Amino acid sequence: MDVLTPDSPHAPVPDAAQAAVATLEEDIVFGRLHPRQRLTEDELMARFALKRHVVRQVLAELEALGVVEKRRNIGAVVRAFSVREVMELYALRQVLEVHAASQIPLPVPQARLAALVAVQREHDAAVADGDTRRVFRSNQRFHHEFFGLLDNAVLGQAIEEYARRTHPIRFGSLAAAGYRERARQEHWAMIHALQDGNREALMAVCREHLLPSRDAYLAAEEARLGA
């Protein structure tokens, strides 16, 4: 239920707040907002034409998503990760996603496989066009469809949760055409492994698929610290 406050004569508009959350999340993923960059309430109010209490809701949502953190005497900043945090987060993702690959029932029904291929065709087109926003969203749809093949909703939800927590880490791989193409090819490798019923190949490609975004972030942090 929305709560009215003295500076909000009308109830806040959830759609506007969610649109701001989605836009800021994309800005972080695509590197338009950088790790440790401040997000001030006044700037966000002006940018999105929102009341202060709604902007605070937006920041709280971004904090819950793990892409923004509150710092004492500073306020909200884009979250930055230490080397240890990155390694631990990706190690957990690897455990979850490789285990999921070991549990997907094979053979996959043709209708489910066709749906996965259709989503990947969208991803192909986005990569070919160099449209990073479409690449990001179609990649999310591919992985949602892929892990939807699991007969384990709890594991699927955990995978999506921890994948989302790595969004601030992924800007390096999304920005580079070579990384985008590698991800596209690995998606097709997953599809072919499903078609062939080759579980070992499926688990191997799921393991390798996580490495580029992790390594790109670590390389960028190393360069920043060196500078």
- Predicted local confidence at residue 165, as pLDDT: 86
Write the burial class of residue 158 (CB in 10 Å: 0-12 exposed, 13-18 middle, 19+ buried).
Answer: middle
CA Rg value for the chain: 19
Q: How far is CA 1 from CA 29, 50, 155, in A?
A: 30, 18, 30
Torsion sign over Cα 169, 171, 173, 174: positive
- CATH 1.20.120.530-classified regions of the chain: 83-226
pLDDT in tens, 15-74: 889 999 999 988 888 888 888 899 999 999 999 999 999 999 999 999 988 889 999 888
- Predicted local confidence at residue 10, as pLDDT: 44
Q: Is the pLDDT of residue 174 over 80?
A: no
- Predicted local confidence at residue 227, as pLDDT: 61
pTM for the whole structure: 0.82
Strand residue runs (E) in the chain: 68-71, 75-78
Architecture of domain 15-78 in this structure: Orthogonal Bundle (1.10)
- Predicted local confidence at residue 2, as pLDDT: 38
For tokens 């969610």, what's the residue? 18
Note the CATH number of domain 83-226.
Answer: 1.20.120.530
Instruction: Kindly indicate the confidence band of residue 4, based on its pLDDT and cuts at 50, 70 and 90.
Output: very low
- CATH 1.10.10.10-classified regions of the chain: 15-78
- Predicted local confidence at residue 172, as pLDDT: 67
The torsion angles phi and psi of 38, rounded to 5 degrees, stand at -75, 145
